[in-house]
Amino acid sequence: MAAKAGNWQSYKRVLLPPVRDLHRLSVYGDYGALRKALARYSPKEVTEIVKASGLKGRGGAGFPTGLKWSFMPPVDPDVPRFLCCNGDESEPGTYKDRQLMEFNPHQIFEGILISNYAISAKACYLYIRGEFADWITLMEEELDKAYAANFVGENIMGSGFSADIILHKGAGAYICGEETSLMESLEGKRAYPRIKPPFPAQSGIWGYPTTINNADTLACVPPIIAHGAEWFAAIGAPDHPGPLLYGISGHVNRPGVYEYPSGMLITDLLEVAHGMRADKKLKAVVPGGASVPVLRADMIDGVTMDANSLRAAGSMLGTAGLLFLDEDTDMVSFLRRVTRFYHHESCGQCTPCRDGTGWMENLVTRIDEGQGNTRDLDLLLDLCDQMEGRTVCALADAAAWPVRNTIKRFRADFEAKCRKAIWATETKAA
Amino acid sequence: MPSVTIDGRKYEFEGHPRLLQFCLDHGIEVPHFCYHPSMSVPANCRQCLVDIGAPVRSRATGELERTEDGEPVIRYFPKLQTSCSHTLADGQVVHTSRSSDKVARAQQDNLELMLINHPLDCPICDQAGMCPLQIQAYKYGPEGSRFEFRKTHKPKKVKLGPHVVLDAERCINCTRCTRFTDEISRSHQLTIIDRGVKNYPLTPPGLVFDDPYSMNVIDLCPVGALTSADFRFQARIWEMSSTPSIITASAKGSNCYYWVRDNLILRVTPRPNPEVNDFWLPDEDRLAYRCFNEDRPGGPEIREDGARQGATWEAACARAAELLSAAGLRSVFLASALATVEDNYLLMALARMTGGTVAGYLPHIAPGHGDGWLRTDERAPNGEGCRRLGLGPADVDALNEQIAKGEYDVLYVLEDDPVAAGLSELGAVSVILHYHNTTNRTLSLADVALPAATAAETIGTFVNVDGRAQRVVPAKAIRGAHRTLMMHMGLSRADRHGTPFDRWHNESHLINCKPSWELLPAVAGAMGHRMDYPGPRQIMDEVSSTVPAFGGATHKAMGLAGVKLPEV
Ligand SMILES: Cc1cc2nc3c(=O)[nH]c(=O)nc-3n(C[C@H](O)[C@H](O)[C@H](O)COP(=O)(O)O)c2cc1C
Ligand code: SF4
Ligand code: SF4
Ligand code: FES
């Protein structure tokens, strides 16, 4: 079948181009896209171009970026407004933003500045995961250079437009990546997600209108301005166009972040990573970071990396971080590790998430250690119902999905590890 | 007017009410923990979930879409919504657990989760018996638990500050306590530490929770996690009777409950009154209750041969009458900002009958003590009541001088302590003293010592700094039973009859004292004057109809919330 990614073998990278020492400003270029945006377009036009490009958020939820920008209220000179760039990347199996920061920081800065212009914000907070200490240092150095070259700051390149970028070191928790808790954290508070509404566009950082985008999303903006919306919209899958940074990990020969058009066949991506290690058979794929539903090997035929195809297959695009698992993988212990993560990272604000994630880990651990009962599986599925859709943020959902789907799709593996019942137990699926 | 349908019944509303508050205001119970009407709404306990639908409007015309029978088409939110954070809109349809199994199930699930790591130490928990978690778990929770693992363990006894002790395991992380210190008292002394199931509130490093309003978090805490260092493990809730009353340690007259077992006050909690103290009490007001229990007198005394000796009430009142009659015009009366309006009014009447002088009341002012909120510079409950009766603060220096010059033979003191107030020259006068506590420094000089009922034992009116007249009723019984008091003992309990564990007939803690409104007529009677009032209610009827500054302030009008008096 024709992959949506088209002739991907000859694709030319735009986010992580193959340039040595790319993070040197002299190599990156002269912020031409920013120059073009400031000279040629009004803020509204920039927003329209980004809308037309079909760019969707790369932070996991896939929200249309241009549309998000248009939610900002009309400019009021007395009310500050902010852009926020989410560089808190912590979803297991996801490490694309880090690569961008390492190799192409100026494209993030340039994207930020164009977006600042589009939403008429004078400042952008760039929130970088605290554990990325070296990357923060690097970004700081590069930002200083951009300031020195007047690509950032007062009256940028004589255009009359001014914007600042403020680097903020993250507080060191997965939950800080959730957009509203990121804002709390930025304000110096505990990273507890806020209830929505109000949404960030109404009340974001310090209660002022704020747009928040993932670093990768913003890095897509300069090429869109440079080459036009149609060029971007033509890359990859039409419903989720543009370049994607596929973070491939697991039992493959060449794990790594690969930039290709969206809509790549999962099987092609396995080929890109030089196939399974030791020629083992593929057992399962988690296509978009730890929280998205796992796909069995028999479910991925013809499935491409875009929202529609993955939804039809029973999963989600998420962050496009693919985890390939081979035939030797114990799905119970895999799930045990995943539940441990969400238990560890729940902020503890909502009852279902705070207490449910721990209970899930307890149950999966017990099964993994051979002490579980088949009725525990039904209890786990019940817990998914008790958590999903009932919390402030989506972490509880993200914790429930892998449990629900891994059990559903690998039930035999789980039952095999359960205790042989001494008394008859009924299980709904049996 | 916009309307909303809740469980099939239609309610009209105005403005933009929040759904949970609207339900509570209309007597529809929705279980909840984190919501509090005077603080921000984090919607974090997730207990108040309900199913909400909204009428559908046609995109093209903006008209309501209707079914075949003309009913508006209702589209439900895909997820259950937290009612605490939901703002009502016209035409919405709401299902609580009473009309939706889905909601009932969600609320039950939430309670199951809330309890899995809760220690369930209800048998030893101060909150048990009035614990929202306990009550709601019984009403809305599951039958048992499916949790078969070790619960998380956290510190059981953390002294957060001088008055508040935390049992972290009981905490359900509702953040009411931290929101209180952030939004209400603004001391910012509490924060949640750690993450997930391990988190609990604590002071930031180096801080002590010495907020002057710290103890409010104890009432706010929907479980027994925050306990009072003072009251911890002192009594079970059901062993105490609670009586609505007011605080007498300040001039704010903050509304409160006195919690009593066997005629001992064991704790004081705030009683919500938006006109006075909202939901709050300063710590110092709560801790001032000991004066009702401790250092109380044993009975009336008169001085015989230079020493005070026990006497009967009749003998003591007769001696007072004797001294007053002998002094004639040469007696001076001290009113009291610590006594009720009724008692001060009778004192003034007695002074008129004897022809003596009223020197005003002793001021209790601690400059700088007030905070513009619930703490006041004036440290007595009824200075304003005295002023409205036409009494001024006594000039202690002038009085000292007059007594030293021998202008008076008798000093009659109503429920106060002139020696402590600086009246040092009492050697030359006979002192008749109504007093509350044996720590009263004037007591050793008294010729007639009459133990008086305190605010926790009497009936009467106090006027707060803002000119609000409020009534007290007896919270504990006294030995000298009076018909009016006895009647009120039965009526004044919040639940009308109190608990069988509170044995207020129990002799051991009954104080042998009498309310001044009973003593003053007795003294007057012994002098041959008539002062006929069945009780304080009738006195106040007279005050409110004859003294313009007290217009409208009858006991009936005051009720439990008090009345604002006319501006003077
Ligand atoms: C628990 C949780 C963690 C998240 N972590 C991140 C993250 O680390 N980085 C990120 O970009 N978005 C993260 N998100 C998504 C953000 O909330 C938000 O949707 C995103 O930053 C929006 O950017 P986009 O529209 O450009 O995708 C997280 C969401 C949740 C619920
Ligand atoms: S869902 Fe979990 S992580 Fe998100 S706010 Fe609630 S407790 Fe915190
Ligand atoms: S200590 Fe009490 S008030 Fe504070 S968060 Fe815990 S349960 Fe809520
Ligand atoms: S009361 Fe609504 S979520 Fe807690």
Structural domain includes residue B78: yes
Nearest CA of chain B to the CA of A360: how many Å?
A: 10
CA distance A235 to chain B (A): 34
> Which residues lie below 8 Å from residue A388, measured CB to CB, with a gap of 6+?
A396, A397, A400, A401, A404
* CATH code assigned at A222: 3.40.50.11540
Q: What is the pLDDT of residues B439-498, one digit of tens each?
A: 999 999 999 999 999 999 999 999 999 999 999 999 999 997 788 888 787 677 766 667
CB atoms within 10 A of CB B393: 17
**A9: in domain:** no
* Domain containing residue A96: 23-229
- The Cβ of residue B220 has, within 10 Å, a number of other Cβ atoms equal to 19
The answer as to whether B268 is a domain residue is: no
- Check whether residue A183 and residue A247 sit in a common domain: no
CA distances from A315 to A287, A306, A381, A406, A418 (A): 8, 10, 17, 11, 26
Domain boundary (B111, B126, B148) is at B111
Beta bridge partners of B332: B357, B411
Contact B246, B255 (CB under 8 A): yes
Q: Are residues B315 and B171 in the same domain?
A: no
- Vertex B86: Cα angle to B81 and B90 (nearest 5): 110
| Torsion sign, CA atoms B442, B448, B454, B460 | negative
Q: Which residues of A touch B146 (CB under 8 A)?
A: 379
Q: Does A10 reside within a domain?
A: no
Closest CA to A347 of A403, A293, A391: A391
How confident is the model over B292-296, as a mean pLDDT?
97
Q: What is the pLDDT of residues B140-186, one digit of tens each?
A: 999 999 999 999 999 999 999 999 999 999 999 999 999 999 999 99
Range of the domain at B162: 117-228
A349 and A204 together in one domain: no
**A214 CA to centre of ligand 1 in angstroms:** 7
Residue B487 lies in a domain: no
> B37's torsion region: left (phi>0), alpha (psi -120 to 50) or beta?
alpha
Total domains in the fold of chain B: 3
User: Using an 8 Å Cβ cutoff, are A103 and A23 in contact?
Assistant: yes
Alpha-carbon distance of A250 to A272, in angstroms, equals 13
- Closest chain B residue to A347, measured at CA: B196
Same domain, A61 and A201: yes
CA of B30 to the centre of ligand 4 (A): 10
CATH number of domain containing A399: 1.20.1440.230
The DSSP letter of residue B365 is B
pLDDT digits (tens, 9 = 90+) for A242-271: 999 999 999 999 999 999 999 999 999 999
B525 at interface of A, judged by CB pairs closer than 8 A = no
Check residue A1 and give its pLDDT: 46
Domain closes at, from B191, B213, B228: B228
**Contact between B44 and A392 using a beta-carbon 8 Å cutoff:** yes
Identify whether residues B20 and B81 lie together within a single domain. yes
Residues B105, B15 share a domain: yes
- Whose tokens are 């026990």? That residue is B310
What ligand is nearest to the CA atom of residue A86? 1
Q: How many domains does chain A have?
A: 3
Shared domain for A185 and A119, answered yes or no, is yes
Task: Verify that A322 and A335 share a domain, yes or no.
Answer: no
If asked whether residues B21 and B107 sit together in one domain, one would say yes
Domain ends where: B90, B111, B132?
B111
Strands, E, within B271-377: which ranges? 301-304, 307-310, 331-335, 357-361
Q: Which two tokens stand for residue B277?
A: 């103290």
pLDDT at A427 over 60: no
pLDDT(A430) > 50: no
DSSP B10: E
> What's the average model confidence in pLDDT over B313-342?
97
Tens of pLDDT along A97-131? Answer: 999 999 999 999 999 999 999 999 999 999 999 99
Q: Is residue A428 part of a domain?
A: no
Q: Judge if B125 and B75 occupy the same domain.
A: no
* Chain A residues within 8 A of B112 when measuring between CB atoms: 386
Q: What sign does the dihedral A213-A216-A217-A223 (CA atoms) show?
A: positive
Give phi and psi for A310, each to the nearest 5. -70, -35
As a whole number, mean pLDDT of residues A303-321 equals: 96
Q: How far is CA A49 from CA A107, A219, B440, in A?
A: 18, 15, 84
Q: Note whether residue A423 is domain-resident.
A: no
CATH number, domain of B399, equals 3.40.50.740
Is B332 a member of any domain? yes
Phi, psi angle pair for A19, to nearest 5° = -120, 135
Q: Are residues B123 and B211 in the same domain?
A: yes
pLDDT > 90 fraction of chain B, expressed in percent and rounded: 90
Tell me: do A278 and A188 sit in the same domain: no
Q: Which of B 169-208 lie inside 8 A of A, CB atoms?
A: 172-173, 175, 191-192, 194-199
Considering the domain architecture, whether residues A134 and A30 belong to the same structural domain is answered as yes
3-state secondary structure B150-195: CCCCCCCCEECCCCEEECHHHCCCCCHHHHHHHHHCCCCCCEEECC
Question: Quick one: which atom of ligand 4 is closest to the CA of B85?
Answer: 2
As a whole number of Å, the end-to-end CA separation of chain B is 41
From A288, A311, A326, give the residue that closes a domain. A326
pLDDT given at position A358: 97
CB contact under 8 A, B196 and A357: yes
Ligand 4 surroundings by CB, under 6 angstroms? B 32-35, 43-48, 82, 84
Count CB atoms within 10 A of the CB of residue A344.
Answer: 16
Tell if the CB–CB gap between B196 and A362 is shorter than 8 Å: no
Of A175, A190, A356, which has the smallest distance from its Cβ to B113's Cβ?
A: A356
Residue B237 lies in a domain: no
A389 shares its domain with A341: yes
Query: B272 lies in a domain?
Result: no
User: From the alpha carbon of B174, which atom of ligand 3 is closest?
Assistant: 8
Q: Do B46 and A379 touch (CB under 8 A)?
A: no
Give the other-Cβ count within 10 Å of B375's Cβ.
21
pLDDT at residue A429 in the model: 53
pTM recorded for the entire structure: 0.93
Mean pLDDT (whole number) for A40-61: 97
- Do A159 and A88 lie in a common domain? yes
Arithmetic mean of pLDDT over chain A: 94
Distance CA A6, CA B297 (A): 98
Confidence (pLDDT) at A420: 75
Quick: pLDDT tens for B120-152.
999 999 999 999 999 999 999 999 999 999 999
Q: Is residue A8 part of a domain?
A: no
Smallest CA–CA distance, residue A418 to chain B, in Å, is 16
Q: What CATH number did the domain enclosing A274 receive?
A: 3.10.20.600
CATH number of the domain that residue B79 is part of: 3.10.20.740
Residues B314 and B400 in one domain: yes
| B6 vs A428: CA distance, rounded Å | 35
Beta bridge partners of B331: B410
Kindly give the distance from the C-alpha atom of residue A272 to the centroid of ligand 2, in angstroms, as a whole number: 36
Q: Which residue of B has its CA nearest to A365?
A: B149
CATH code assigned at B164: 3.30.70.20
- What's the ipTM? 0.92
**Residue whose entry in the numeric block shows the structure tokens 């896939």:** A62
Query: Which pLDDT band, with edges at 50, 70 and 90, does B502 fall under?
Result: confident
pLDDT reported for residue B147: 96
Q: Are residues B133 and B11 in the same domain?
A: no
Report if residue B148 sits inside a domain: yes
Q: How confident is the model at residue B425 (pLDDT cuts 50, 70, 90)?
A: confident
CA distance to partner chain A, nearest, from residue B65 (Å): 25
Q: Could you tell me if B135 lies within 8 Å of chain A, comparing CB atoms?
A: no
**A interface residues, B as partner, C-beta within 8 Å:** 173, 175, 190, 192, 195, 343-352, 354-359, 362, 366, 379, 385-386, 389-392
Query: Both tokens of residue A397?
Result: 């959902």
Contact A263, A4 (CB under 8 A): yes
- A67 occurs within a structural domain: yes
B242 lines ligand 3 (CB under 6 A): no
Q: SS3 sequence, B461-504?
A: EEECCCCEEEEECCCCCECCCCHHHHHHHHHHCCCCCCCCCCCC
pLDDT at B496: 61
Q: Are B137 and B217 part of one and the same domain?
A: yes
Final residue in a domain of this structure, among A200, A229, A258? A229
- What distances in angstroms separate CA B165 from CA B139, B154, B189, B200, B452, one per listed residue? 29, 14, 14, 13, 36
| 3-state SS, residue B25 | helix
Examine the domain organization and report whether B106 and B129 are in the same domain.
no
Chain B residues touching A357 at Cβ < 8 A: 196-197
pLDDT on residue A21:
64
Say whether both B105 and B180 belong to one domain. no
C-alpha B111 to ligand 2 mean position (Å): 17
| B293 found inside a domain | no
Average pLDDT over residues A55-78: 96
Spatial separation of the C-alpha atoms in residues A342 and A319, rounded to whole Å: 17
Residue of A187, A351, A380 to mutate for B, most B C-beta atoms under 10 A: A351
Please indicate, yes or no, whether residues B78 and B138 belong to a single structural domain of this protein.
Answer: no
**Minimum CA–CA partner of B115 in chain A:** A355
The pLDDT tens digits for B222-236 are 999 999 999 999 999
Cβ <8 Å between A390 and B110: yes
Among A169, A197, A229, where does a domain finish? Answer: A229
Nearest-CB residue to A355 (from B42, B43, B116): B116
**Ligand 3 and B201: CB distance under 6 A:** yes
Name the band, by pLDDT with cuts 50, 70 and 90, for residue A425. low
A237 located within any domain: no
